[in-house]
Amino acid sequence: MLTLKQISEDTEKVIKGLEKKHFAGAREAIEKVLEYDKIRRESQQKLDANKAEQNRLSKQIGGLMKEGKRDEAAKVKDQVAELKAADKALTEVMDKAQSDMTNELLDIPNIPNDKVPEGKDASSNVVIKEDVTNLPKLGDDALCHWDLLKKFNLVDFDLGVKITGAGFPVYIGKMARFQRALEAFFLDEARKAGYTEIQPPYVVNQASGYGTGQLPDKEGQMYHANVDDLYLIPTAEVPVTNLFRNEILDEKQLPLKYCAYSACFRREAGSYGKDVRGLNRLHQFDKVEIVRVDTPEHSYASWHEMLDHVEGLLKKLELPYHLLLLCGGDMSFTSSICVDFETYSAAQKRWLEVSSVSNFESYQANRLHCRFRRNDTKKIELCHTLNGSALALPRIVATIIENNQTPEGIRVPKVLVPYCGFEMLDDKM
């Protein structure tokens, strides 16, 4: 969440940033935060003054009693009692103002970096890099991945509906092995790049959801296990980043680099049409996530390294891709800057998002109370947090299948052959 320091020192900049993100009622929200803070501070000042007056009066009582001035001492005692009663009321006002301010701050998104372009939706995103070297030329008889999956008996969507519901496919035979191959490849590449692998829980508590910004879940996108009040993770970013909740790290430890494979669960409420066909949008899918915790002055160097890492994966998979710098209106609630990677699905003739790489700056760290201690000054400051998909499987699989289709099966990218043990995805076991 935004810090009070940001809001109070750069109020107009913050409001303009929120407006760039098309956050409705930006000025009103910030004014509410400042008003709650004013009430909190004024109450604290009155409380401190009351405490000081109580201490002064309490010292008088002893002296008056020694002098035998019992009536005067009793009056002073009454004054102290009145001040203590006022303390209770002031504390209640202060606590409510603090609670109201925190709740308001939780509903306010991060402000965009200055490099983020203006725009309301995806149409204003900017292509900053493109590589279509591996763009295939398919014939008119080319099949979309959902038809190829059925043709070679690789995925059964109907069985998934039978077992659970739409958006929960069943992977069969070579495709199940291919999923594992991709996961292993992505994890190996992350390890080579210096990331420590984590195997996290797939469910998290409320504090973890609030820490990374998935809660409060206004759009109802998370699956909630009501009895135990736990949430199924939408990405491994949530449990991995929460490793550092309520921690004070040493500057010399940073940057910290972690990766994790996990299943991801998303309700994807409101999705429809071509966006949900086949593997385009699922309620459960696998993904390898990379996470960094860094200092403010080095976090953008880390962000660029993460972009290079994801780009390298797409190159090795022989996929056409481009990078999109997201505009203010198309960014996530928590990100300060974000680049989406999209691969070209040749049969669908459309670009599919396969990764988002974001720098949250101090926004998540403030929610998490994730801080670090400077080596020289010993000053404690908020960390910067970053994350990226490296990579998400379903749409990667979709583009590999479509772009590498042959009448006999789907050619496996060379880099994956050692991992899966076959060169062709088909129905032959």
Considering the chain, tell me which residue range(s) the CATH 1.10.287 domain(s) occupy: 4-106
Q: What is the pLDDT of residues 389-406, one digit of tens each?
A: 999 999 999 999 999 999
State the pLDDT at residue 79.
78
Strands 248-250 and 371-373: parallel
Pull the structure tokens for residue 399: 């583009």
Binding-site residues for L-serine, in ranges, read 235, 266, 289, 387
**pLDDT confidence of 192, banded at 50, 70, 90?**
very high
pLDDT at 106 over 90: yes
Average pLDDT over residues 318-330: 98
Average pLDDT over residues 158-181: 96
State the pLDDT at residue 218.
79
Q: Which residue has the tokens 């926004």?
A: 363
pTM of the model: 0.92
Is 1.10.3470 the CATH classification of the domain at 4-106?
Answer: no
State the pLDDT at residue 272.
60
Element (H or E) spanning 204, and its range? Answer: strand 203-204
The answer to whether 50 and 83 are in contact (CB under 8 A) is: yes
pLDDT at 56 over 80: no
State the pLDDT at residue 273.
59
Q: What is the pLDDT of residues 346-391, one digit of tens each?
A: 999 999 999 999 999 999 999 999 999 999 999 999 999 999 999 9
Answer positive or negative: Cα dihedral of 116, 122, 125, 128. positive
Binding-site residues for ATP, in ranges, read 266-268, 353-356
Spatial separation of the C-alpha atoms in residues 264 and 251, rounded to whole Å: 32
Alpha helices in 337-415 (DSSP H): 363-368, 393-403
Q: What is the mean pLDDT of the chain?
A: 93
**Residue 149 burial class via C-beta count within 10 angstroms: exposed 0-12, middle 13-18, buried 19 and up:** buried
**pLDDT confidence of 270, banded at 50, 70, 90?**
low
CA dihedral angle for residue 399, residue 404, residue 410, residue 415, rounded to 10 degrees: -90
**Residue 277 or 399, more confident:** 399
Residue 353: Cβ within 10 Å count: 15
Cα distances from 246 to residues 6, 26, 151, in angstroms, run 21, 29, 51
SS3 state at 44: helix
Alpha helices in 287-425 (DSSP H): 299-316, 363-368, 393-403, 417-420
Residue 134: closest CA among 429, 329, 411, 389: 411
Spatial separation of the C-alpha atoms in residues 261 and 238, rounded to whole Å: 12
pLDDT at 54 over 80: no
Considering the chain, tell me which residue range(s) the CATH 3.30.930.10 domain(s) occupy: 122-425
The answer to whether 391 and 355 are in contact (CB under 8 A) is: yes
Q: What is the pLDDT of residues 132-157, one digit of tens each?
A: 999 998 888 899 999 999 999 999 99
The answer to whether 371 and 249 are in contact (CB under 8 A) is: yes
- Considering only the top CATH level, what class is 122-425? alpha beta
**pLDDT confidence of 64, banded at 50, 70, 90?**
low
pLDDT at 315 over 90: yes
Average pLDDT over residues 395-422: 96
Average pLDDT over residues 323-350: 97
Binding-site residues, in ranges, read 235, 266-268, 289, 353-356, 387
